[in-house]
Structure 1
């Protein structure tokens, strides 16, 4: 198990003793059925890791458009027993046969995304079951098979289609004439299923029962592995080259957390191939010289500064981030205090710029910058158990319904489209280009925050593709700088950038301040920037939580006697638009 660096211990003398929080359990996810699965496991005495994995499995059933066992994820775990933080990288890998030209045409030009993502070529080797096995081996308390029961029940007995799933099925309808297996599960009488209809997935129930009985190897070998390879290689659309050997060779990897101080806190997240922690920490580090608390959430200048720090950090993200097993990523340099002070000095408090160059962090090798792409999908879930241990995980199959291919009742990811399609730029290799066995760059940002006494006080993450970083950063600023409760921080308007403009969430107070923001010198455009943040917060010694009001997420607390209480149900009402991130 890997501990926080001595650097951080010296900074805050943290993580020296277990958390003195009240012994309750709590679970949060983007779907009430998944949250209920996590709470059920906690009520049975399961660990936070057990509960998180039960939610991951349940989301495979009820949120098939966003995540599941056909994809991968990142887990950040805090062990209250010995006060250590660990992470597990369950990101998908490219098949061994993959080359840098995977998503280029005959002339070497990058394919359009809409041509690249459907079918077999976009599928990476799924990592979530190996991640689950590692988490269970290290921190599990219940038997392996017990964790599968809620998801098996949902697949066997059926689940009610919610508004979000209905909207995603309708949005993807035009693609599915080419994907018969997907239609057979999610279409009724020749049309996508509507909200309120009960769907069963007996093939997925069979798959889950087999893995529950025989363990994780049953996924990576045998009938399930054969089904995955067959779906990929025999796809009617862009058949791929995944082999049984690719599946058998897959490993989830334990990594050191990436941690850095911010004001009186320490913030920890995932190392590469996640760009989440480094970019979040760069944005916050560049903002530390500004008194955001004094400015407050209602001052346009706060959002102007956030927008500038965001664009500054993303410039480094595009140049330096990739799979550290293949390229040298200067993680320590990117979050170095002196480097961030140098970068922050580029921000003019009164006048915007939109052309921030990448910097030269300590330890960086010469490299070219190139834009990578992620679509707004994914899901996040968190759990705290009675001991105070935390499992905080973001999971994905990439875009809505991933590659659109189904094996064993579950969707296979399209994660390989998270690689940068152009393998070279200006004659130099791109850090995030496709290579066999490589894991694509990700913006997933599961985050745990520690206070000055070393207690974990916040665990959160989000869906949203490349916007995940900003959804998480905005929420952190809301809690840590503006002093808001987690629910209010999540509900704050979202912010991003594109096409030279600062993008603000439409129909919000921030959109009403568009002209005031534009006065700083950058065009401002209101857009749909829906999010799906979930998280947990320590308040007065007890854990509470919140789900994004833009979603159908929920939070359930479990007391010592196993009694469950719904403490947040999200605010999405019948007839309201579902969050745009699935």
Structure 2
């Protein structure tokens, strides 16, 4: 009986369960309709039971009728430390940036069930790129990309989740549009980085270059962007793409440099030195809740000026609305008055303001605004600088402020509040938040500002090329300094007299053909970039020293009088001609990298570029100059003078002071900020905290003390003891790896010079001499050899029959140099680490083979070559003596003041030559412990085949040097110019985007010096050259040379003839 009851209950329970799963009539009207639907579903399912089960289960999970099964990982559980490392990587400021808005938050659930609110962060690169960066920094970690992506914190948002694939500027979008059009015609794979993309962009990947295609491009005309359609061939689109990539590389470089500078300034703010960022927001339309449709056409708008101030004590947010919606510079001035008044009331001791604004906004790059900066700085007695962000970058926190204010006001309107005027807007904003200063920019204040500016500056003329400016600094009430970020930083100053801009009247007017005469002497001559250094060399020669002794005295004095180019914290190279033996000797005075410095360690430090940044103290190789000075005297000196006597002219000038020359003062001013920021000892090389001006007396007592220590103790005075300890202490304090052992073990290296023979038309031959690698003298010799082989192959007529500086002549030299750079940029490295096939590269067979690549009417588009970076941050000088000896000497910091870092109590800066290493595994010039980098500085000499000296010469200026050597040589031997005219003649310079000694196929730009005709420029363009004319102070990019030649005469008496480059401050002098 009991068993029967149990069975009945079980049967009823099963029936109840079945009834629960039967759909109610509320879902289907009848059971019949449900049956028909179920039949249709069954008929659409596959007959296979397994497939049917999978589909039904998937649908049930999709509609949450069944819980989804969790994925079971088959791999080992990731270590907690690895998870933490990945998390910390994602939230680094160089990987992602934080959004500022109050609503830019994410609520995340922790493992323990608690909820935490995080501020959103946006990845700067794609997940793929970040994974590559992570693997590069953590080479020993085994982590898949999928696991890396899974470990991304929920508040870190990848690029793909944003509304745009990249930043909003046309540089990025135009490349995307071109790639989209070229997709069918250009082969290739996905590129994980910008560098990979540019390396892979070669014409061999184009399947059909003549095919007709169309593409779109954003064009900016009259301040407004518009997308336009274009048509042409695939080859034309590829050429356009390459030029767009060049612009993008430059744009990205500027954006990164500015971001680093901006972040650095924000970390260094005090209550005396503050950072201000300003911007205009989009206009706000005033509306009401339940507003009728017709009211939309009568709605009023207001403009909102936003600002944020960083200081040590307190940060300030500003939202300044105005009923004036013009966004012009008069509104800007009124807003600045409000902001500065508040800042000065809270921070009464403020002395310096670094302001940042949108670089594309015309109201910030306007003549009244520029002129008003000087007025503001003068009236308030503050040091005022204005920085312009790269196009479409840098908005940051000011955009967040206006977004918050607009949302708060709009939420109040939705809640029923009224906003019909600026006063209403301010009232609602203040009601919602007390953390943002909300104040009206009143119309009457704007009118007063306009009247004031127009009356004072009504004669102000338009400022040329304001769109290129990146930084403006007020010097005084009549002067502004204007900086332009380029592949090397360039500088211009504008002087305002009689309330108007004079277009670079104070911009070191170098509009020459020089009218200098050749300097002759029968005993000795010194030719350098500084007259006082020439006098120092002559003083030593008069005391019985020879050319080597005088060269060291000249070099030491140049460290005092032109520290913006050279110094004992740098390197040097020497060629010495002994008239008795007719032998040329060479000394390599370049330093090596620290023994602890490796590529892996640089990557661990976060350096992912192809080069060590110039301002990173790991770019400091062991300074080789001091040991080279002492070895020069030991190997080649007269023995008549002590080291103290040779150093005495330099020490005397450093202690007693000297007037700073014009071009040196200009270069010094360029680096004023770098000197202040690179170390705590910047004032050692400044005059009352400022760069000295032309004609001002500059004393350098700490440098004098250092030179005296070297004079007393020799090399040990520099490479051991207090000076060495100060160098190491400074470098290590900035994250560098140099040790005292690196310094004490350094020695200069006597090396055999390399040379090549060149034929003149009279069947005579001359021989050109250079220092061997790791210097780039090999490039100059190869270019000379290729040029001769081109003539032998009858591809061109004899150069005497080609007009000097004609398009044909310039094309021949440019292509010869490009061919030489393509080899030299790869092979030139430290021969102690890599085999440099000098003899093979200089063989006539190989040079003839390279000359086959020359086309007399077109550039070689497929030529891979180095990307020269040019500057004149070096000094070259030449010295000859009464015994017929000669010294060709070059001495450099590499980039202006180098790193600009000054060791404590030493008075000199450390160079940045290590930036020439290529941070690429397997490259011959890749950094290794104790290795010398690719060196740009090269002295040169010319002899006849009998070994008699004809001339010693050089042209300083980075990668301009081999180019200058070739041009000056041709001027002398082919066009029979005297030594001064050979230097005066306008030059060209092969220039290109940042980065040297790589094999990227990026078309180089040819810079032409003012004086080359427009007709020549147009013809060079027809050959395919990218050409730009360079004028004014920027002509220093063409280098600064010195020449001393030995003349033949019937009396068999010694006569020297010297020339000095008018692009420098110096001259030649002798007796």
TM-score (norm 1): 0.84
Q: Hey, what does 2:1068 align to over in structure 1? A: 555
Contact conserved, 1:101 with 1:423, CA < 8 A, in 2?
A: no
Contact conserved, 1:161 with 1:197, CA < 8 A, in 2?
A: yes
Q: 1:484, CA displacement in angstroms?
A: 0.8
Corresponding position: 1:486 with 2:976: no
Q: Hey, what does 1:391 align to over in structure 2? A: 887
In 2, the alpha carbon distance for the partners of 1:510 and 1:418 equals: 35
Contact conserved, 2:989 with 2:1038, CA < 8 A, in 1?
A: no
Contact conserved, 1:432 with 1:441, CA < 8 A, in 2?
A: yes
In the TM superposition, 1:145-164 aligns within 5 A as: 145-164=644-663
Residue 1043 of structure 2: which of 527, 535, 539 is its match?
A: 535
Provide closer, same or farther for how the CA distance between residues 417 and 374 of structure 1 changes in structure 2, counting only shifts above 3 A.
Answer: farther
The C-alpha deviation readout for 1:515-569, integer Å capped at 9, x for no partner, is 02222232322234331111211223511111111111211113xxxxxxxxxxx
Q: 1:512, CA displacement in angstroms?
A: 5.5
In 2, the alpha carbon distance for the partners of 1:434 and 1:305 equals: 34
In 2, the alpha carbon distance for the partners of 1:170 and 1:77 equals: 35
Q: Hey, what does 2:861 align to over in structure 1? A: 354
Contact conserved, 2:782 with 2:820, CA < 8 A, in 1?
A: yes
Corresponding position: 1:67 with 2:566: yes
In the TM superposition, 1:428-467 aligns within 5 A as: 429-467=922-960
Contact conserved, 2:531 with 2:1066, CA < 8 A, in 1?
A: yes
Q: 1:344, CA displacement in angstroms?
A: 0.8
The C-alpha deviation readout for 1:468-518, integer Å capped at 9, x for no partner, is 111111111111111111111112222222352441334222565200222
In 1, the alpha carbon distance for the partners of 2:855 and 2:605 equals: 45
Q: Hey, what does 2:848 align to over in structure 1? A: 341
SS in 2 for 1:325: coil
In 2, the alpha carbon distance for the partners of 1:516 and 1:244 equals: 56
In 1, the alpha carbon distance for the partners of 2:1007 and 2:677 equals: 36
In 2, the alpha carbon distance for the partners of 1:285 and 1:397 equals: 30
Provide closer, same or farther for how the CA distance between residues 55 and 512 of structure 1 changes in structure 2, counting only shifts above 3 A.
Answer: farther
Provide closer, same or farther for how the CA distance between residues 511 and 383 of structure 1 changes in structure 2, counting only shifts above 3 A.
Answer: farther
The C-alpha deviation readout for 1:334-386, integer Å capped at 9, x for no partner, is 1101111111121112222233247xxxxxxxxxxx76867541110111111
In 1, the alpha carbon distance for the partners of 2:837 and 2:887 equals: 27
Q: 1:23, CA displacement in angstroms?
A: 5.4
In the TM superposition, 1:347-386 aligns within 5 A as: 347-357=854-864, 376-386=872-882
SS in 2 for 1:380: strand
In 1, the alpha carbon distance for the partners of 2:688 and 2:584 equals: 50
In 2, the alpha carbon distance for the partners of 1:346 and 1:99 equals: 38
In the TM superposition, 1:240-251 aligns within 5 A as: 240-251=736-747
> Greater shift after overlay, 96-105 or 389-398?
96-105
Contact conserved, 1:494 with 1:505, CA < 8 A, in 2?
A: yes
Q: Hey, what does 1:473 align to over in structure 2? A: 966
SS in 2 for 1:262: strand
Contact conserved, 1:494 with 1:530, CA < 8 A, in 2?
A: yes
Contact conserved, 1:373 with 1:418, CA < 8 A, in 2?
A: no
In 1, the alpha carbon distance for the partners of 2:1056 and 2:939 equals: 17
Contact conserved, 2:521 with 2:1057, CA < 8 A, in 1?
A: no
SS in 1 for 2:737: coil
Residue 184 of structure 1: which of 668, 675, 683 is its match?
A: 683
Corresponding position: 1:287 with 2:287: no
Corresponding position: 1:525 with 2:525: no
The C-alpha deviation readout for 1:222-249, integer Å capped at 9, x for no partner, is 11111211222224xxx31111101110
In the TM superposition, 1:555-574 aligns within 5 A as: 555-558=1068-1071
Corresponding position: 1:413 with 2:911: yes
Provide closer, same or farther for how the CA distance between residues 372 and 217 of structure 1 changes in structure 2, counting only shifts above 3 A.
Answer: farther
Q: Hey, what does 1:9 align to over in structure 2? A: none
Corresponding position: 1:35 with 2:534: yes
Q: 1:140, CA displacement in angstroms?
A: 1.3
Q: Hey, what does 1:140 align to over in structure 2? A: 637
SS in 2 for 1:131: helix
In 2, the alpha carbon distance for the partners of 1:219 and 1:106 equals: 29
Provide closer, same or farther for how the CA distance between residues 106 and 140 of structure 1 changes in structure 2, counting only shifts above 3 A.
Answer: closer
In 2, the alpha carbon distance for the partners of 1:327 and 1:478 equals: 35
In 2, the alpha carbon distance for the partners of 1:259 and 1:431 equals: 23
In the TM superposition, 1:195-274 aligns within 5 A as: 195-235=694-734, 239-263=735-759, 264-274=765-775
Provide closer, same or farther for how the CA distance between residues 60 and 304 of structure 1 changes in structure 2, counting only shifts above 3 A.
Answer: same
Provide closer, same or farther for how the CA distance between residues 334 and 112 of structure 1 changes in structure 2, counting only shifts above 3 A.
Answer: closer
Q: Hey, what does 2:277 align to over in structure 1? A: none
Q: 1:452, CA displacement in angstroms?
A: 4.0
In 2, the alpha carbon distance for the partners of 1:102 and 1:90 equals: 26
SS in 2 for 1:33: helix
The C-alpha deviation readout for 1:391-428, integer Å capped at 9, x for no partner, is 101111111111111131111111111112x323xxxx
Provide closer, same or farther for how the CA distance between residues 97 and 180 of structure 1 changes in structure 2, counting only shifts above 3 A.
Answer: closer
Cα RMSD after superposing both structures: 2.1
SS in 1 for 2:671: helix
Q: 1:175, CA displacement in angstroms?
A: 2.7
In 2, the alpha carbon distance for the partners of 1:549 and 1:512 equals: 25
Residue 123 of structure 1: which of 599, 617, 620 is its match?
A: 620
Structure index of larger Rg: 2
SS in 1 for 2:594: coil
Q: 1:93, CA displacement in angstroms?
A: 1.0
TM-score (norm 2): 0.47
Q: Hey, what does 2:594 align to over in structure 1? A: 95
SS in 2 for 1:394: strand
In 1, the alpha carbon distance for the partners of 2:697 and 2:601 equals: 39
Provide closer, same or farther for how the CA distance between residues 309 and 27 of structure 1 changes in structure 2, counting only shifts above 3 A.
Answer: same
Q: Hey, what does 2:1012 align to over in structure 1? A: 509
Provide closer, same or farther for how the CA distance between residues 282 and 98 of structure 1 changes in structure 2, counting only shifts above 3 A.
Answer: same
In 1, the alpha carbon distance for the partners of 2:634 and 2:768 equals: 26
In 1, the alpha carbon distance for the partners of 2:680 and 2:567 equals: 17
For structure 1, which runs of at least 5 residues remain unmatched after alignment?
A: 1-20, 359-369, 559-582
Contact conserved, 2:871 with 2:1039, CA < 8 A, in 1?
A: no
Q: Hey, what does 1:83 align to over in structure 2? A: 582
The C-alpha deviation readout for 1:154-178, integer Å capped at 9, x for no partner, is 1110111222232123222333442
Q: 1:31, CA displacement in angstroms?
A: 0.8
Residue 275 of structure 1: which of 776, 783, 786 is its match?
A: 776
In 2, the alpha carbon distance for the partners of 1:512 and 1:201 equals: 49
SS in 1 for 2:982: helix
In 2, the alpha carbon distance for the partners of 1:386 and 1:345 equals: 46
